[in-house]
Chain A
Amino acid sequence: MLISELAFEWLISLALVMTCAAPVLLVGLFIKDFISKTIW
């Protein structure tokens, strides 16, 4: 049973969107920690 083209496209696109969101989240968390002086 082969994966359908639609499922394949969704799988790769969703993974890419999630990966792209990660640096935004990490930088946001860093700024928050930096402002509240809780980095270390």
Chain B
Amino acid sequence: MTEFALETSTGITIIILFGVFWVAFGYWLGRKNRTHEDFALAGRNVGFAFAAATAMATWVTSNTTLVAPQLTYQFGIWGMIGYSFAALGLILFAPMAKRIKELLPNGYTSGDFVRLRYGNLAWLVFIIISVVYAFGWLISLGMAGGILLESLSGLDYHIGMTTILVICVGYTLFGGMRAVIATDFIQALIIIVGVSFIAYWLIDNVGLESIHSNLTSEHPKLLDLLFPAAVMFLFNNIFFGLGEIFHSNVWWSRALSFKKGVAYKAYLTGGLLWLPIPIVTGFIALAAPQLGIFPPSPDMIGPTVAAAVLGKVGAVIVFIVIFSALASSLDSLLAATSDLVTQDIFHKKLKPKASDKTLMRFNRSCILGLGIMTWLLCLPRIATLGALLNFAGAFVASTIWPIVLGLYQRRLTGSYAACAMAFGTLFGMLGYFVIGFYVAALVSCAVSGLICLVGIMRSNKQFDWNQLDEGEQIHADK
């Protein structure tokens, strides 16, 4: 008998089978990519079904499947409800996605928007924030891959993390956005069915009533509706979620790749589909005390409970679900970040006359480079997933107001937008270190909002929306 829920060989077999399938599928989908627009934005022609699924699946990350149970284990009922409020980000982004598609019909990235709307200084601050966030997320995903394989099958952390990165880089490299979106659809189905199955099994075997009465007598704090740190976490998580989605090119590139008229309803549907998932995954952790499970690291609580209740079957399901969740976010982030580097830095700043073929080649090199850098940064296991994730909150929440006001308000100027993002981030980090991770996004958003308010009150300029449309950017192949 092994001390792990899965034999190491079973874990390796699953990952190889899925890996071969995803890479082959990505290669097959990539055959249709003729131009850089095809590769980066799936020809701007994604239909409703794939659009809604990719919005939902990308937001179901390893954090939803590993950190939501971890936070529920630490903060109780508010941990899972607070996490589910991150769906507001997708729901509120729905009208913005429609606006983005109208204002930037030929745009590629969120960086394009910031550069055209606010100028170079704000663009520079925005790019720094975007890159820090993208690497924070990439590292948390890579680490989650290693942790998953290690906790479930005993496979060495470094080998597991490397394998997952290789697979995701592989199919994103071959298929571009088309592969990312199509695999997201299948991964979304796997995630939802797997998570529902585990929760149903838990309810059927342990019982909701039994879990509630055990928590009431042994761990009442986990059911406390007035747990102060948890209530603070709830609000912090709302702003964190808004910041993540509003600024990240992962969501902008999707909005720009959807067919006309699809973006609004796709994000709204994706948000509503995502809303209950953290509650279902978080609930799994609430059964831990009753089952006598106290894992060495809190981010392993979800997989450990599922494996304990369902045995080998549960371990296989958790393995596949988390692998799908990881892949659906990792591929999106690799594609979106490489688009940002290719379009915003290489094309706009270094080689404005680069041909379509050159852009496509550079984009692919970027995906590979990002994969290698992520791998290097994941080698030391630097923090728990939750801590790493919440540190990024200080950065992204500072972008909420500059992005929203930039899309709907003509008076905010570039210098105020740059200050709002820079000082919001600084004060958010101060809050993170002085008070705690659960206030980082709140402080960042509040400071940034205040600076934007002053900026609007003091400005008498009116931005011309037509400046956002750069026209079609076609360069003949040489």
Contacts and interface: CB of A to CB of B under 8 A. Distances in A.
B25 to A, nearest CB: 15
Nearest to A6: B212
Interface residues of A, number: 27
B189 A27 contact: yes
B477 interface: no
A30 B49 contact: yes
Given A19-B195, A40-B46, A3 B225 contact: yes
Given A5-B213, A12-B208, A19 B47 contact: no
Interface in B52-83: 52-53, 56, 77, 81
Interface of A is mostly: helix
B208 A22 contact: no
B16 interface: no
Given A16-B280, A18-B275, A30 B196 contact: no
B407 interface: no
Contacts of A3: 77, 223, 225
Most buried by B among A15, A23, A27, A29: A15
Contact of A40 (B42, B77, B280): B42
B274 to A, nearest CB: 9
B224 A1 contact: yes
A33 B49 contact: yes
Contacts of A12: 199, 203, 208, 279-280, 283
B12 interface: no
B216 interface: yes
22 contacts: A2-B224, A2-B225, A3-B77, A3-B225, A5-B213, A8-B208, A11-B81, A12-B280, A15-B84, A16-B196, A16-B199, A18-B275, A22-B56, A22-B188, A22-B273, A38-B47, A38-B48, A38-B259, A39-B47, A40-B45, A40-B47, A40-B50
Closest 9 CB pairs of A and B: A29-B49, A15-B276, A15-B279, A18-B276, A30-B49, A38-B47, A33-B47, A33-B49, A2-B223
Given A2-B220, A18-B276, A23-B192, 15 more contacts: A3-B77, A15-B279, A16-B200, A16-B276, A18-B275, A19-B192, A22-B56, A25-B269, A26-B185, A30-B49, A30-B185, A32-B48, A38-B259, A40-B43, A40-B47
Interface of B: 42-43, 45-50, 52-53, 56, 77, 81, 84, 178, 185, 188-189, 192-193, 195-196, 199-200, 203, 208-209, 212-213, 216, 220, 223-226, 259, 269, 273, 275-277, 279-280, 283
Interface of A: 1-3, 5, 8-9, 11-16, 18-20, 22-23, 25-27, 29-30, 32-33, 38-40
